[in-house]
Amino acid sequence: MTVPEPQYAVNSYSTPHNTIFDDIEQIARTGGQGVGLWEGKFADGDDEKIAEAMAEHGLAASFAVPAMHAILSIPFERPGLPKDVQRRADMICASIHRLARFSPQVIAIAPGTSGRAGEPLGPVEDVIRVLPQIADAAAEHGLELGVELLAERRGSTISTLPDMVAVLDEVNRPNVGIMVDVFHNWCEPDVHARLLKYADRINSVQVCDIKLDEREGLDREYPGRGRGEAVEFVATMIEAGYTGFWELEVFSDDGTYGNAYPDSYWLQPHEQFLAEAKRAFDDTWSAAVSRVESRRASVR
């Protein structure tokens, strides 16, 4: 069985100094097939121009992210956003209606994180209460939600695949799946067995890698670098039958979010960063495919 070529995309969160139009041009020039649209980069009245630019450069929308995408909160969101969960859910729904015109693979949302290990944000009951409303807003447009499974070490409300599946079972909406992310999920116990077990619940995958000395949540590595967890993660998802977008999301704070790391990848021009990231992904993909093919050959 031949492994299909990957659909590669980059999430707009990864390029904080670019406009959305810069992202579209640079992602296309560096070999992407999709762009992860973050609504926070949209100006009023730009939607048609964005759609035209994507069509001109042959890019699809991978995972579209509302301007405020966390049901509870995340540490690096913009100041002044409401804390009330129902108001936040209403804002996410309004964003879904806007982003639907781009026909993304999924609308990406998150339950929330505190940013602190051992201090999970909650309560999870608030997430369960409003998720049906958000799912139904997406369903109006024939879209799926990808609920991102965030890390326990980052203070996630929901931090394991079994727990996320239990939440989605309670929500009981057929258009809600799980977004997995190498950065967040690599250290979950038995993660590769769980990825295979729950493969039919996973509808989106984000790719990066983990620094050997991880300083905080906005300190990430190119795929295949650092701990090198991405290769096995990607191999497992290939074996699981995932064929959607593989979306790069590498945060590397240069002071934009409060930590000016001297080795930040964001200190270089973003197009150079994107080109390096694409080469790293290509190497990761090749290594992952080799592992899958080797395993298949061993059982023939």
CA distance 192 to 241: 13
Q: Could you tell me the pTM of the whole model?
A: 0.96
In the chain, what is the straight-line distance between the N-terminal and C-terminal CA atoms, in Å?
A: 12
**Would you say residue 1 lies in a domain?**
no
Per-residue confidence (pLDDT) for residue 60, from 0 to 100: 98
The number of distinct structural domains making up the chain is 1
Is 279 contained in some domain?
Answer: yes
Range of the domain at 153: 7-298
Q: Is residue 143 part of a domain?
A: yes
CB of 277 closer than 8 Å to CB of 250: yes
Query: What pLDDT does 114 receive?
Result: 86
Q: Domain for residue 86, yes or no?
A: yes
Determine how many CB atoms are found less than 10 A away from the CB of residue 56. 11
Residue pair 106/146 in contact (Cβ under 8 Å)? The answer is: yes
Contact between residue 232 and residue 287 where contact means Cβ atoms under 8 Å apart: no
**3-state SS track over 162-207:** HHHHHHHHHHCCCCEEEEEEHHHHCCCCCHHHHHHHCHHHEEEEEE
Phi, psi of 173 (to 5 degrees): -125, 125
What is the Cα–Cα distance from 9 to 62, expressed in whole angstroms? 7
Question: Whose CA is closest to 34, among 1, 70, 60, 15?
Answer: 60
Q: Residue 139's domain is classified under what CATH number? A: 3.20.20.150
Q: Is residue 96 part of a domain?
A: yes
Q: Confirm whether 2 is domain-assigned.
A: no
Domain assignment present for residue 175? The answer is yes
pLDDT the model gives residue 1: 65
In a domain, 21, yes or no: yes
Residuewise pLDDT in 10s, the chain (300 residues) = 688 899 999 999 999 999 999 999 999 999 999 999 999 999 999 999 999 999 999 999 999 999 999 999 888 888 888 999 999 999 999 999 999 999 999 999 999 998 888 888 889 999 999 999 999 999 999 999 999 999 999 989 999 999 999 999 999 999 999 999 999 999 999 999 999 999 999 999 999 999 999 998 899 999 999 999 999 999 999 999 999 999 999 999 999 999 999 999 999 999 999 999 999 999 999 999 999 999 988 876
Residue 299: exposure state from Cβ atoms within 10 A (0-12, 13-18, ≥19): exposed
